[in-house]
Structure 1
Amino acid sequence: MNGTIKVAVAGASGRMGREVVKMVLDDPELRLAAAVDNSSNPIDAGMMAGMGPCGVMMSNSLEQALLETKPDVLVDFTTPKSVVGNTKLAIQYGVRPVIGTTGFTPADIVELDKLCQEAGIGGLIAPNFSIGAILMMKFAAQAAKYMPHVEIIEFHGDQKLDAPSGTSVKTAELIAANRRELRQGNPEEEETIEGSRGGYYNGFRIHSVRLPGVFAQQEVIFGGHGQTLKIRHDSYERAGYMPGVNLAVKKVMTYQGMVYGFEHFID
Structure 2
Amino acid sequence: MSEPIKVAVAGASGRMGREVVKMVLEDPELRLAAAVAHSTSGMDAGSMVGKETCGVPLTTDLELALVESKPDVLVDFTTPHSVMANTELAIRHGVRPVVGTTGFTPEQIEDLDRRCREAGIGGLIAPNFSIGAILMMKFAAQAASYMPHVEIIEYHGDQKLDAPSGTSVKTAEMIAANRQELRQGNPNEKETIEGSRGGYYEGFRIHSVRLPGVFAQQEVIFGGYGQTLKIRHDSYDRAGYMPGVNLSVKKVMQTTGMVYGFEHFLD
Under a length normalisation based on structure 1, what TM-score does the superposition of the two structures give? Answer: 0.99
Deviation at 1:98, TM superposition (A): 0.0
Is 1:35 the counterpart of 2:35? The answer is yes
1:7 aligns with 2:4: no
Query: Match for residue 20 of structure 1?
Result: 20
Offset, 1:232: 0.2
CA–CA separation in structure 2 for the residues paired with 1:8 and 1:40: 16
Q: Secondary structure at the match of 1:52?
A: coil
- Provide the rounded CA distance (Å) in 1 between the counterparts of 2:154 and 2:29: 35
Amino acid at match of 2:153: I
Q: Distance in 1 between matches of 2:50 and 2:114?
A: 38
Aligned to 1:44: 44
What's 1:157 paired with?
157
Write the deviation string for residues 100-140 of structure 1: whole angstroms up to 9, x where unpaired: 00111111101100000000000000000001000000000
Q: Matched residues, percent identical? A: 81
| SS of 1:80 mapped into structure 2 | coil
TM alignment of 1:119-134, pairs within 5 A: 119-134=119-134
Displacement, 1:201? 0.2
Residue correspondences, number: 267
Measure the CA separation in 1 of the matches of 2:37 and 2:113. 25
Trace 1:189-204 onto structure 2 (pairs within 5 A).
189-204=189-204
Matched, 1:60 2:60: yes
SS at match of 2:82: helix
Asked whether the equivalents of residues 79 and 101 of structure 2 are also in contact (C-alpha less than 8 Å), the reply is yes
Number of the residue aligned with 1:227: 227
Gaps of 5+ in 1: none
Return the offset for 1:5: 0.2
Q: C-alpha separation between the residues in 2 aligned to 1:159 and 1:217? A: 15
Shift of 1:163: 0.3
**What is the alpha-carbon distance in structure 2 between the residues aligned to residue 106 and residue 25 of structure 1?**
34
**Cα deviation digits, residues 190-211 of structure 1 (max 9, x gap):** 0111000000000000000000
1:40 and 1:137 map into 2 onto residues whose CA distance is 37
The letter of the residue matching 1:255 is: T
Letter in 2 for 1:161: L
Partner residue of 2:91? 91
Q: Counterpart in 2 of 1:236?
A: 236
Deviation at 1:48, TM superposition (A): 1.0
The farther-off stretch of 49-58 and 145-154 is 49-58
Distance, in Å, in 1 between the alignment partners of 2:57 and 2:42 is 6
Q: Summarize deviations over 1:210-233 as a string: whole Å, max 9, x none.
A: 000000000000000100000000
Amino acid at match of 2:174: L
- Give the whole-Å Cα distance in 1 for the aligned partners of 2:104 and 2:184: 28
Runs of 4+ in 1 over 6 A off after TM superposition: none
Residue in 2 aligned with 1:266? 266
Contact 2:41 2:57 in 1 (8 A): no
Unpaired runs of 5+ residues, structure 2, are none
Residue 210 of structure 1 corresponds to 210
Which amino acid is the alignment partner of residue 223 of structure 2? Answer: G
Question: 2 CA distance for matches of 1:162 and 1:252?
Answer: 26
